[in-house]
Structure 1
Amino acid sequence: MEIKIQNIDTIRESAREFIQNIGERKVFAFYGKMGAGKTTFVKAICEELGVEDVITSPTFAIVNEYEAHDQSIFHFDFYRIKRLEEVYDMGYEDYFYSGALCFIEWPELIEDLLPEDAVKVTITENTDGTRTVTF
């Protein structure tokens, strides 16, 4: 599947299209260069799912938990992870296998720990400033 994000003003439309196509899948690994828009897209997805909390990058906290319509959503950012032991210590299995939606940024740093059914989502910045989301 491929979704085009034309600009920041249309990102919520792209997030709705993403949500319509995730099916029953729960764990999503977001790949993309620094500045590609991973956090911005995850924020738009969470807003479209009904999260009313302030949605921020969990860069320093590693994981943020949000609630939307009686469901938990976990947003991870593993950019600052130095060793896999840090991920073991945080109890990653409790999150990844909880049945809650999990949105993971910088999954390449923990690929060995991702569930087999994790969906690889790639965000690419195009030369015209648009973004392409593939999964």
Structure 2
Amino acid sequence: MSEKIRYNLKEIGKVSKQIINLLFDTRLILLRGDLGTGKTTLIKSILNEMGLKENITSPTFSIVNEYELNRESIYHFDLYRIKNKKELDILGFDEYLDSGQKCFIEWPEIAIERIFCSYVDIYIESKSVEEREITIKTID
């Protein structure tokens, strides 16, 4: 499956609902795009639309944030600062992937070789200050 959605940032809640419908039971969601395109903003909106009411922050320095929704953990990774695969080992990245919980991963390129299950790949592209286009692909 591949789908493109173009939207104004004011419509992000509506777009997040569309994405949630596309995710079904997918537990691994990779987000790619240039710096500042809105990966974290989109994740915040998706989690809010799923019912998470707590403050959702970027894990830029913590690398991973954990949230709880309906007694299940949701992990939000930002791998931008990870320089090598050894750092993924120290983080326990594989254990998170094997946990069966939903994982949102920003900047997944360094970890892609460790992903052996199906996932949804979301690529965000800035079209203007207020407009974005996302390409959503399911990878089996």
TM-score, with structure 1 as normaliser: 0.91
Show the counterpart of 2:33: 32
SS of match in other structure, 2:23? coil
Show the counterpart of 1:78: 79
1:6-38: CA deviation from partner (whole Å, max 9, x where unpaired): 12x221111111001112211011010001110
Distance 2:27 2:117 in 1: 12
CA contact (8 A) 2:23 2:120 kept: no
Show the counterpart of 2:69: 68
User: Are 1:102 and 2:103 matched, yes or no?
Assistant: yes
Show the counterpart of 1:48: 49
Show the counterpart of 2:6: 4
SS of match in other structure, 1:59? coil
Shift of residue 74, structure 1, vs aligned partner: 0.5
TM-score, with structure 2 as normaliser: 0.88
Shift of residue 129, structure 1, vs aligned partner: 3.2
The structure richer in strand per residue is 2
Q: RMSD between aligned alpha carbons?
A: 1.4
Number of residue-to-residue matches in the alignment: 134
Distance 1:21 1:126 in 2: 23
Distance 2:128 2:50 in 1: 30
List gaps (5 residues or longer) in structure 1. none
4+ runs deviating over 6 angstroms: none
Distance 1:106 1:125 in 2: 16
Shift of residue 128, structure 1, vs aligned partner: 6.4
Distance 1:25 1:97 in 2: 14
